[in-house]
Structure 1
Amino acid sequence: MKGWLIYKEADRLRNDAFIRLLQQASERRGIELEVVTYEEMIYSVSGGTTLFGHEENPDFLIIRTCTPWLNEAAELHGIRAFNSSRFSRTANDKRLSHAFLSSLSVPMLPSTAVHQRRLSSLSPSYPLILKDPLGRGGTGVDWVARPQQLGAMSTDDELLMQPVGGQRGRDVRVYIVGGDIVAAVVRESETNFKANISGGASASLYRLSEADKTLIQKVTLAMPIDFAGIDFLIADDGSLLFNEMEDAVGCRSLYDQSAIDIADVFIGHVAEELR
């Protein structure tokens, strides 16, 4: 059994330790896992039996590039992609993920997909949060305190607009493998409204309530998830508010705060799926 682990070059360098864990877990199960960078790949999308121009396709792909088209192209060639194209496309567009979870009655802040040209005509209440729908890792997220700031935003023309809400600088990331909850961490920042570890936030394990687990299971039952994170804001009453999905989820805080080897858990799921 042979698979490809696909990263963009810059992300491959940053995730070297996690890549080694994935390969070691694969080797223990008799699976060959080759690292292939997204930039070096050539895709045959106009016919033929192989997607990548080789004599044989790999048996599976672990795609860590947030490029849903590749997940779907692989599936069209009968290659198992982790995650599925449906999940990858939904998770990597905040507009889709909010629309999907809203259909499941998962609590969230009032969220509006809008083009930047329409912002002034909406007369929104300030402060507000504007997000690049395709951004990840805390990028493309702006706190806007007054209308005059709109011209200096780092976000693109297409936006997700939300009011300021939840406990400032705190969120919960729930790690999902094979549709099961593996663990959760709470991330906290004393200096930033965003609680990203890469931005200096701290993390600790978080105990989910039974109500939290029931809420999360609404999502995992409605859409298969191979390996991902679901991020929630924490409301003032302690309940969870959906914030975003992470397709190529970062795991540093989980390794720092627990003995859980989620790379091994995930590769165990991969092996079971391919059996």
Structure 2
Amino acid sequence: MKGLVVYNSFLGKQNKFFSLVQDLKKEGHALGIDLELRGNGEILNTSSIKLDYDFVIFWDKDIALARNLELQGLPVYNCSEAIRICDSKIETFLKLKDKLPMPKTVVGPFSYFDRSFEDAYLDEVIDYLGEKIVIKEEKGSFGMQVYLALGKEDLKDTLQGLGNKNFIMQEFVEESSGRDLRINIVGDRVIGAMERTNKNDFRANISSGGKGCFVEPSQAEKDLALAAQKIMGLSFSGVDILYGKDGPLFCEINSNVNYLSFNHISGLSMGREILTYIRRINERD
């Protein structure tokens, strides 16, 4: 089997995602799968694009390129539509609302230009979400572009600082402050879970200073993560779960999941699991 792994050319080769695709190549070699690594900036995205591979692992968010590869008949993991929805916290919310338990959420109003919010709107948001509010830009990774507002003035200042960027607002889940659960999934199997904790920040992300430890998730947590992956149409993912007062809450789902920290603390290989899954699917088809 010969596969292509697409990564983002413009993050640089010192970026963690390049280390991740190198890990995939190493695991592919061990499994007898020949993987070529190419940045999205190395592939001319035209109507006549022709690439000779059995499959593509798309470790980027260049949706137009992923879609064009699909149009050439190439199996792309994850598929372009799933990546597109996962890359948008707004689209993810709309896809999963009323299907999975999650924090109360308000989608911010669209604007062409910078916004100035009326007090009545801010009061309504606080009445619905509470005094502590988590603000998330529509697109963002590693816990970046996520803010905590404490009260009305802080909320107003934070929202105005976003300019015309799209965003969502969510209730602050006190029970999960500085901690969450990352569940890694391939196909319909939970590969393992990592609890992340951060004593110095409400965000638990490893890249924000959090620490991870390998844990066994509860059945309710597994079921929630598996349901999210299935609804989103993903082949593999990392699902982030919050510890709610009345049970687990969906936080977000990652199509380009950074699994290197998980591999390190668990001794497992997420890359090998992904490649074994793809080989099984391709041989079946």
What TM-score comes out, normalization by structure 2 length? 0.85
1:13 CA displacement: 2.6
Match for 2:273 among 261, 265, 269? 265
Match of 2:66 in 1: 71
1:155 and 1:194 map into 2 onto residues whose CA distance is 23
1:58 CA displacement: 2.7
CA offsets 1:71-129 (integer angstroms, 9 cap, x no match): 2222121111110123212211111112222242x111111211363743522223311
1:31 corresponds to 2:30:
no
Match of 2:173 in 1: 165
Match for 1:112 among 106, 109, 113? 106
CA gap of 1:151–1:223, structure 2 versus 1, over 3 A, is closer
Contact 1:22 1:264 in 2 (8 A): yes
User: Matched residue of 2:14: which SS?
Assistant: helix
Match for 1:249 among 229, 249, 257? 257
For these two proteins, the number of residue pairs brought into alignment is 266
1:218 and 1:255 map into 2 onto residues whose CA distance is 23
State, as a whole percentage, how many aligned pairs show the same letter: 23
Match of 1:84 in 2: 79
Match of 1:2 in 2: 2
1:184 CA displacement: 0.9
1:156 CA displacement: 5.2
2:103 and 2:94 map into 1 onto residues whose CA distance is 12
Match of 2:244 in 1: 235
1:228 and 1:96 map into 2 onto residues whose CA distance is 16
1:151 and 1:183 map into 2 onto residues whose CA distance is 37
Contact 1:180 1:220 in 2 (8 A): no
User: Matched residue of 2:97: which SS?
Assistant: helix
- Give the alignment of 1:3-18 within 5 angstroms: 3-9=3-9, 10=11, 12-15=13-16, 16-18=18-20
2:244 and 2:116 map into 1 onto residues whose CA distance is 29
User: Matched residue of 1:26: which SS?
Assistant: helix
CA offsets 1:4-46 (integer angstroms, 9 cap, x no match): 211113264323443332112212333221111122221113x
Match for 1:178 among 172, 187, 191? 187
Contact 1:110 1:163 in 2 (8 A): yes
Contact 2:6 2:60 in 1 (8 A): yes
Q: Mean alpha-carbon deviation: is it higher for 83-92 or for 20-29? A: 20-29
Q: Which runs of 5+ in 1 are unaligned?
A: none
1:144 corresponds to 2:149:
yes
Match of 2:234 in 1: 225
- Give the alignment of 1:171-210 within 5 angstroms: 171-210=180-219
1:168 CA displacement: 0.6
Q: Mean alpha-carbon deviation: is it higher for 207-216 or for 130-139? A: 207-216
CA gap of 1:232–1:151, structure 2 versus 1, over 3 A, is closer
CA gap of 1:154–1:40, structure 2 versus 1, over 3 A, is farther
